[in-house]
A = this chain, B = another copy of it.
Amino acid sequence: MAGRIDARLKELGIDLPSPMQPIANYVPYVIAGDLVFISGQLPTIAGKVAWEGKVGGEVSGEAASAACRQSFVNLLVHLKTACGGDLDRVVQVVRLGGFIAAVADYTQHAVPMNGASNLSVEVFGDAGRHARTTIGVASLPLNAAVEVEGVFRIA
């Protein structure tokens, strides 16, 4: 019995990779009641940051949007584990935090972050609509162009 959200991911051509563990004293997610707090995700593919540099500089807004989409995919990987493999248990995407490593005069932070927000709604429909905070930051781990964190409600 394939799940509804798994089927939706397949339609979208998204194949969730195996979860990677942080190489430090923290974990990908913590469940507190019905909330899942997921660690900030870099836009990695196969464990390597795939979008490096500053948005508005060497990284275009369009590229940064793809990077935020990938960060959201990485959130989904850990969310699926948090749900015991069943993403149909996701009741609501509660909050996404978007961190854009941008040049100092960048003003279009919504463009990259929409890459994460749009995928959230593509995957979860109305339950994917979330509160969101997007800010520009001076630097990110491993020279990543973006980072996205999330809080989710599960049943």
Contacts and interface: CB of A to CB of B under 8 A. Distances in A.
Contacts of A25: 114, 117-118, 120-121, 128-129
A14 interface: no
A104 interface: yes
B26 A139 contact: no
Contacts of A90: none
Contact of A135 (B95, B99, B153): B99
A81 to B, nearest CB: 13
A118 to B, nearest CB: 5
Contacts of A106: 139
Nearest to A93: B30
A8 interface: no
A27 interface: yes
A131 interface: yes
A130 B142 CA distance: 21
A142 B107 contact: yes
A132 B40 contact: yes
A62 interface: no
A56 to B, nearest CB: 8
B130 A135 contact: no
A59 interface: no
A86 interface: no
A83 interface: no
